[in-house]
Structure 1
Amino acid sequence: MKPYLEGHYTPVPDEATATGLTVRGSLPAELRGRYLRNGHNPKPGVTPSHWFKGSGMVHGVRLVDGRAEWYRNRWVRTPALDGDTSHDLKASVAGTHVIGHAGRILALQEANLPYELTPELDTVGAFDFHGKLTTAMTAHPKEDPATGELHFFSYSPFPPHLIYYVSSTAGEISRVEVVDGAGPSLMHDFGLTENHVVWLDLPVVFDPAEQSGIPYRWSDDYRPRIGVMPRVGAPEVTWFEVEPGALLHVGNAYEDAQGRVVVEGPRYDRAAWETSWKWWVGAPGHGPEPLTGAVSHRWTLDVASGTAREEMLDVLTTEFPTINEDLLGRATRFGYAVAFPGSGHEGYSIVKYDNVSGSRQLAPMGERRMPGEAVFVPSGQGEDEGYLLTIVSDLARDTSELLVLDATDIRRDPVAVVELPRRVPAGIHGSWIPDSEPAWVMDVERDAERA
């Protein structure tokens, strides 16, 4: 049995809907919207060659007026769900992320077009930004909190290796730029600051000999670099050579008081990457966890001097870093992540980092309980005034819960716990889509009129 088909990752065999969910504690009244979380869930009898190749399934919980109105899970109905493995941009597994943009819910997977979903998680179809997107789209777009624009990219093992896009708040692509100088590396994420775009050209590179279906492999011969490109003007990149390391997810990127560009996230060395990859493909010798040895790092890039400095921030094995996205691209004091077993840490926890004091808080989940990515929802003016939403897979009880944690002190008991009608498999990324988002409100009203 492949490790990504058992334990916390055991797929569910069907779709379900439940209403009037039981809530322990008190759901904050300001939580009006949908918590959506995507992940890989192949159909019964299907064994994908790689964890990332499993078909996407979105799980959602609707919160309103202190109630948990419904839970739903739906496969994203793409050609890949029915076995189409062609290179057609529509043949997506759509299983990495799910976001809201311009009144649409989009399920994402970086090798293909995004897929639009209804507010009830049914599949509308591939979305190509009204014909303007003719390449794949990253699963990690960034919304500028000041402008509402969505910044994203497409990467490819073949030239042009990197294309940069910007979409308006109305969902219209307003900028397309080929970025010269990038190579055939696996560019899963990127950084966006107030004034720059940050590109990751690191040593996991295209290798057609890789047989897992994801044709990338660590290369000691590839020169690892991080690129800094001004957001305004020509797409000219200043490249900084850095130590060999892989970075799947950027926690945040920003400019410091000296104008240097700072990038933060969980870094893999070669041993950590290759051990994790063995789990992702189910190769002999894989460890018990999908993510091994990724630890929080910071890169400080000085465009004026052309120098780069790298430092390790913590020893915990962490992944799925998040922040208060109202501050994306700005210096942040607080960050959040999932802590995995390793470096003396037992079990799974949510961790909160304080970048000013250097301290951390841990919220252990308990025996055989694994949380997913913790999504921050603001409730006040302070950076950490808000809630963390995460779905916990509980193997002991064969069930799951949506936890609502007080982000100011995650060590406290949860503010509320929503009991879900089934165990939700451990997944990848998700989003909180509030009812208050203007474009989203219009979309809900439009769908109500159709009904």
Structure 2
Amino acid sequence: MTSKPFLTGHYTPAVDEITATGLTVEGSLPPELSGRLIRNSHNPKPGVTPTHWFKGSGMVHGIRLQDGRAEWYRNRWVRTPALEGAPYMTETGPDLTASTAGTHVIEHGGRLLALCEANVPFELTRDLDTVGAYDFGGRLRSAMTAHPKTDPVTGELHFFGSSPFPPYLMYYVADTEGAITHGVEVPGATASLKHDFALTRHHVVFVEGTVSFDPNGHSGIPYAWNDAQPARIGVMPRGADGAEHIRWFPVEPGSMLHAANAYEDDRGRVVLEGPTVDREGFRLSWNWWVGAPGRGAEPNARSYIRRWVIDLTTESVDEQIVDDLAVEFPTLNEDFLGAAHRYQYAVSFPDRNGLGGYGIVKYDRTTGTRSIREVGDARLPSEAVFVPAAAATREDDGYLLTVVSDLKQDASQLLVMDASGLDRIATVHLPRRVTAGIHGSWIPDNAFGDDVD
């Protein structure tokens, strides 16, 4: 019996790779859902027990939808050097190709990329086979965040690379074809953990929380809560010379792994939102991630949505927790990324005592209300990916796609919900229980041009 919670229950790794076709569908799949839902997960090979959840090798799971049918499911390990045991640290420094590639998967410029923030991306085929490490034609000079942002107006990809050693923070922009057009070191950054960032129409927003590099760590992830590390938000104007004008604003101690969104309000203030944890919340989650005593029943047990309003004129920051529900994995209609949004979505979690259930949450910023779609006992949904409806006229005209792990049935389903009311539209029955994972993307067929299976 393992003592590692991330190898049990919903997180029990898949032991092999399979392909299944002609999946059973209950309800009616909307015809505009023509593409692939691809989701990543940490999934060590049989016999391997990583020292940290994040150290598990990446496995991508794909579901192909077309013309109202669920054509296939397949899962594949991302075949990186780390999958075969290659070390990240070598005699000459870090090997940026020795990646778990298990955090996220995106498409940009017709390439499918599996991401892990300590490494370079790994390119996959549309059938999820591994092509190899991808460094943007040699122009990527650092690791790449697992949370790049596609500007919905320009189509450009914005991303950063962080390191516990100088240069601590690099910022990049790639054009719609995937060529890096801008890369610069961001001054003033520290060894604080930077997992995600945000983009507005005019600014790039970096977050340095109270978690920083810890050379004495033994989990293989060398970070820890550090009361001496100032928490702050960096606001940098977009553009070639933006890094020269970055400003850092102190905030309350905490750690934010995922940004929900950021935008400029009608007064020109920068508004940033995302789930955060305090010192105790980080301790509970970290102990779960490494399998140490004193962990909560689940990670994210004290993760609450926080809002920061940064006045660039008065150089002041107003911050508040806007909800007391434990949530993580925020998403939204990405047409509103960087702009004032009304709706956002998240996954709800039980508290530190295991009370409360899993569900998909919808927040309405205009009314200040939230609604929850509970998914049932012993069922855990994945991050809810928003897909716009055809000819959408409202922000929440669309669908939420989430893969639900069902422990009682030892099965998984793809749940397709109406994003406006969280009602179920269709259920796709998958051929296995899919390991609970982290992030994923909906890749429409037109992202690949001619799409022939």
Deviation track 1:283-316 (CA, whole Å, cap 9, x = no partner) reads 1121220222000110000111100010111000
Q: Output aligned runs, 1:31-70, within 5 Å.
A: 31-70=33-72
- Aligned Cα root-mean-square deviation (Å): 1.1
Aligned-partner residue type, residue 36 of structure 1: I
2:220 maps to 1:218: no
* 1:286 maps to which of 295, 310, 314: 295
Looking at structure 2, the residues matched to 428 and 331 of structure 1 have their Cα atoms a distance apart, in angstroms, of 26
2:444 maps to 1:434: yes
Partner SS state of residue 327, structure 2: strand
Count of aligned positions:
441
Deviation track 1:158-189 (CA, whole Å, cap 9, x = no partner) reads 11100000000001000001100010011000
Aligned-partner residue type, residue 373 of structure 1: E
1:253·1:330 contact (CA, 8 Å) conserved in 2?
yes
2:285·2:298 contact (CA, 8 Å) conserved in 1?
yes
* 2:170 maps to which of 163, 166, 169: 163
Partner of 2:91: none
* 1:318 maps to which of 294, 302, 327: 327
Looking at structure 2, the residues matched to 257 and 355 of structure 1 have their Cα atoms a distance apart, in angstroms, of 15
CA shift at 1:48, angstroms?
0.4
* 1:234 maps to which of 231, 242, 252: 242
Partner SS state of residue 99, structure 2: coil
Looking at structure 1, the residues matched to 217 and 361 of structure 2 have their Cα atoms a distance apart, in angstroms, of 34
Partner SS state of residue 332, structure 1: coil
Percent sequence identity over matched residues?
61
Partner of 2:368: 358
* 2:160 maps to which of 148, 153, 160: 153
The TM-score normalised by the length of structure 1 is 0.96
Mind listing any 5+ residue stretches in structure 1 that lack a counterpart?
none
* 1:209 maps to which of 209, 216, 228: 216
Partner of 1:263: 272
Partner of 1:388: 400
Looking at structure 1, the residues matched to 219 and 242 of structure 2 have their Cα atoms a distance apart, in angstroms, of 38
Mind listing any 5+ residue stretches in structure 2 that lack a counterpart?
89-93
Partner SS state of residue 4, structure 1: helix
Aligned-partner residue type, residue 77 of structure 1: R
Partner SS state of residue 285, structure 2: helix
Looking at structure 1, the residues matched to 323 and 188 of structure 2 have their Cα atoms a distance apart, in angstroms, of 32
1:273·1:292 contact (CA, 8 Å) conserved in 2?
no
Partner SS state of residue 10, structure 2: helix
Q: Structure 1 residues 303 and 150 mapped into 2: Cα distance closer, same or farther (>3 Å)?
A: same
Aligned-partner residue type, residue 234 of structure 1: G
Deviation track 1:358-396 (CA, whole Å, cap 9, x = no partner) reads 111100010100000000000112100000000000000
2:149 maps to 1:142: yes
Deviation track 1:58-100 (CA, whole Å, cap 9, x = no partner) reads 0000000000000000000000001112321110000000000
2:345 maps to 1:336: yes
1:316·1:345 contact (CA, 8 Å) conserved in 2?
no
2:9 maps to 1:7: yes
2:283·2:295 contact (CA, 8 Å) conserved in 1?
no
Partner SS state of residue 373, structure 1: coil
CA shift at 1:203, angstroms?
1.1
2:24 maps to 1:22: yes
Partner SS state of residue 274, structure 1: helix
2:96 maps to 1:89: yes
Looking at structure 2, the residues matched to 365 and 96 of structure 1 have their Cα atoms a distance apart, in angstroms, of 24
The TM-score normalised by the length of structure 2 is 0.96
Looking at structure 2, the residues matched to 345 and 286 of structure 1 have their Cα atoms a distance apart, in angstroms, of 15
CA shift at 1:345, angstroms?
6.0
